[in-house]
């Protein structure tokens, strides 16, 4: 049994939706970069759809249309970063509102909730979303938002999105369910089809895929949520530049090709690591050894290039491994064409409280890889050599 079969038409939508040359006077095939900050009006209060570039921009709209289509969504909005998108969602809430959060989330999201949102009067309960009873017990009468990652970062836990949405609806009628889909992209998972209200992205990662843009995005079907978030996009001013929108729009054209290669390379690397004597455990939803492997097969169309593993030993061994790598760069982030490696306990998830890291299993032996588009055999050789070095420490 494999992952769900990808319906036809994804690559065609990525190339054509929002890109019609007839929308431009020049009929240019590639949408132009509209850098103007303001737009001439025909008369006071009479405009041609654009007034000021923070509120709307032709290049940004092209990207938003294309991004929405890839999630089979009615609407898409882009923001200055992934955390900017998260901030927009949080600012829909009011003082006293409660959030149910997955316990294993991106470190920046954890920091935003614990150190910013709580100071503004929001409360949050962090819970293991793979435990449905614990998840149900986390709800309160004042719960207004559920924030999920599936798979999670960095432990790659897979939650049953349909079941989590159902519990959320049963627990709080008007709750908003948001799923951070950064790891899988709309190519491998489409949470709106599983019942979610919002799908959130760090477009910086796989959706752009070239490690040269910081941007976030949200897709949705609900008119009211779109109106609220569109208002906040403009009112908070957390918009990306037209040039960055042009680059991400370009990158979506090759998303399906890139994700297929990321998947193939990462699975080869993961299988090699699982067979190595100096590796304690590999966390990759595409491997039968993963505790939610069957759920991943049933819920998604495949898997990307980011996964984690435990090296034998502790900080001396993980540090030696990371320093010995030649093709993998020791750097934060993920999803670019180049391969990266990092130590979440000290890098991406250092802001997570130490006791929480310990409880979750984010130890100094946990290494996260973002497998790029290089030749898989070269990447495996690089890892093998680094493991040999680490084993001698």
Angstrom distance (rounded) from CA 67 to CA 208? 11
Angstrom CA distances, 97 to 83, 164, 167, 356, stand at 20, 20, 18, 23
Q: What is the DSSP string of 80-108?
A: SSHHHHHHHHHTTS-TT-EEEEESS--HH
Nearest to 4 by CA among 368, 345, 299: 299
Q: What is the DSSP string of 18-47?
A: T--GGGSTT--SSPP----SB---SBTTB-
Q: How far is CA 189 from the centre of its chain?
A: 11
Strand 366-370 to 176-180 pairing: unpaired
Helix (H) / strand (E) containing 263? helix 255-275
Q: Which active-site residues does the annotation give?
A: 54, 106, 180, 205
Angstrom distance (rounded) from CA 273 to CA 258? 22
Q: Which two tokens stand for residue 363?
A: 């130890």
């Amino acid at each position: 049994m494999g992952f769900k079969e990808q319906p036809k038409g994804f690559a065609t939508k990525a190339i054509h939706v929002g890109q019609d040359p007839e929308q431009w006077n020049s009929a240019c095939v590639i949408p132009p970069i509209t850098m103007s900050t303001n737009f001439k009006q025909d008369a006071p209060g009479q405009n041609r759809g654009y007034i000021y570039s923070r509120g709307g921009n032709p290049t940004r709209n092209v990207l938003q249309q294309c991004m929405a289509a890839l999630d089979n969504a009615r609407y898409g909005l882009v923001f200055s970063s992934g955390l900017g998108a998260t901030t927009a969602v949080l600012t829909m809430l009011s003082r006293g509102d409660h959030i149910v959060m997955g316990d294993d989330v991106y470190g920046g999201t954890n920091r935003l909730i614990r150190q910013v949102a709580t100071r503004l009067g929001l409360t949050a309960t962090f819970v293991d979303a793979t435990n449905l009873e614990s998840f149900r017990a986390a709800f309160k009468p004042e719960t207004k938002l559920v924030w999920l990652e599936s798979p999670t970062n960095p432990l790659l836990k897979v939650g049953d999105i349909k079941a989590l949405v159902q519990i959320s609806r049963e627990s709080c009628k008007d709750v908003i369910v948001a799923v951070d889909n950064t790891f899988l992209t709309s190519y491998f998972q489409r949470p709106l089809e599983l019942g979610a209200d919002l799908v959130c992205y760090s477009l910086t990662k796989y959706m752009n895929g070239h490690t040269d843009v910081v941007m976030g995005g949200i897709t949705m079907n609900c008119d009211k949520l779109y109106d609220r978030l569109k208002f906040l996009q403009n009112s908070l001013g957390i918009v990306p530049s037209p040039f960055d929108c042009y680059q991400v729009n370009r990158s979506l054209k090759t998303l399906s090709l890139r994700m297929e290669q990321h998947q193939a390379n990462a699975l080869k690397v993961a299988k090699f690591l699982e067979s190595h004597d100096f590796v304690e455990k590999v966390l990759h939803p595409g491997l039968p050894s993963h505790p939610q492997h069957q759920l991943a097969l049933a819920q998604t169309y495949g898997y990307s290039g980011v996964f984690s593993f435990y090296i034998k030993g502790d900080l001396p061994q993980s540090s030696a491994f990371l320093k010995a790598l030649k093709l993998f760069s020791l750097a934060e982030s993920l999803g670019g064409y180049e391969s990266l490696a990092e130590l979440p306990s000290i890098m991406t998830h250092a802001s997570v409280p130490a006791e929480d890291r310990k409880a979750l299993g984010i130890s100094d032996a946990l290494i996260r890889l973002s497998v790029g588009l290089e030749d898989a055999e070269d990447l495996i050789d690089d890892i093998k050599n680094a493991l040999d070095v680490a084993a001698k420490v």
